[in-house]
Amino acid sequence: MKVTEDPELFLAIEDLELAGGGIADSVWLGAHRSIHRGPGVEFESHREYQPGDDLRRIDWSVFARQRKLFTRESRIDSLRPVYLLVDSSGSMSVSHGRYSKFDYASRVAAAIAFLASRQGDHPAVGLLGKRLEDAIAPRSGLRHVLEICASLIRTKPEGEGELAAALADCHGFCRKRGFLVVISDFLESEEGALSELAAFHASGHDVLGLQVLDPFEVELPESGDYEFVEVETDSRFRTSTEPFRHSHAEAVAAWREKLAYQAALRNLRWDSVTTNDSLVETARRWLEMATDLAGARSGASS
């Protein structure tokens, strides 16, 4: 896939199920390692073969009887849910073109839901505004993933956000230890939000903070007069970008580095992207993180 096609291609697909599934397929075709490795894995059931499945898991005895391909599903003794916590406050509606930060975030979340489900994990979704606004508990199956996609499609990012308070609300929702993916621009209460993520980590969750920014938030246009809008409060001012474009870029770069450093100090996984970055690569990095963490857990238990 050409860089120019992604993320534009997947952002242009209005059907979130199709976009999320397409991103997952692109990641899956290049992934040959299972998230679940090591002891504690035993055969449980069969399911129909899907392109990209590990050929070593095909049950040829079933094929000989039924002339259909099935793969062996395994039960993981310590099956873990994947909690997708997506910022739905007004700042996520920001875009310099057709596609907003929430458009990007919802596609990442949908792709991870598809990937997690294919690995046998149970995805869940929570939408974050001032509080935990809506939530779908972790379950298995394609129908459940489609329910997650439908929830994201219905959501319109709006209103003021209080990320730290919303995350604090999620402790009851994220009761079972699992993989926690928080997708936000982290533009407000970032210190409080990181502290809440550290609390999740301390309680046994593996945590990834995924920061999604608009390219113009990272680097202003080279020239011209622009109206700047604070979308959560609707305050506005108009100015030329030339006098402070360079200083703005330096300040944002330093801020992003600081957040990454603060996340590392708290033993959190962290990634920061813009809506111009590849959706496939963003989802692939999640899969690699999850694989590495699963391997570390298996090694620790053996």
Instruction: Give the model confidence (pLDDT) of 199-216 as tens digits.
Output: 999 999 999 999 999 998
Q: How far apart are CA 154 and CA 146, in angstroms?
A: 12
Residue 110's pLDDT is 98
**Which residue ranges make up each domain of the chain?**
3-35+79-301, 41-75
**Tens-digit pLDDT profile for residues 81-95:** 999 999 999 999 999
Decide if 107 contacts 183 (C-beta within 8 A). Answer: no
pLDDT band at 184 (very low <50, low <70, confident <90, very high): very high
Task: Compute the 3-state secondary structure of the chain and give helix, strand, coil in percent, each to the nearest 5.
Answer: 45, 20, 30
Sequence-separated (6 or more) residues with CB below 8 Å from residue 72: 43, 45, 46, 57, 58, 59
pLDDT of residue 168 exceeding 50, the answer is yes
Q: Say which range, 15-19, 39-43, 67-71, 239-243, has the weakest mean pLDDT.
A: 39-43
Residue 191's pLDDT is 93
Decide if 279 contacts 6 (C-beta within 8 A). Answer: yes
pLDDT band at 295 (very low <50, low <70, confident <90, very high): low
Residue 37's pLDDT is 40
Chain mean pLDDT for the chain? 83
| CA atoms 52, 53, 54, 58: torsion sign | negative
Q: What is the DSSP string of 91-131?
A: GGG--SSS--HHHHHHHHHHHHHHHHHHTT-EEEEEEESSS
pLDDT of residue 31 exceeding 70, the answer is no
Q: DSSP H helical segments within the chain, as ranges?
A: 8-12, 16-29, 60-66, 101-118, 142-154, 163-169, 190-202, 215-218, 245-265, 279-301
pTM of the model: 0.79
CATH topology of domain 3-35+79-301: Rossmann fold (3.40.50)
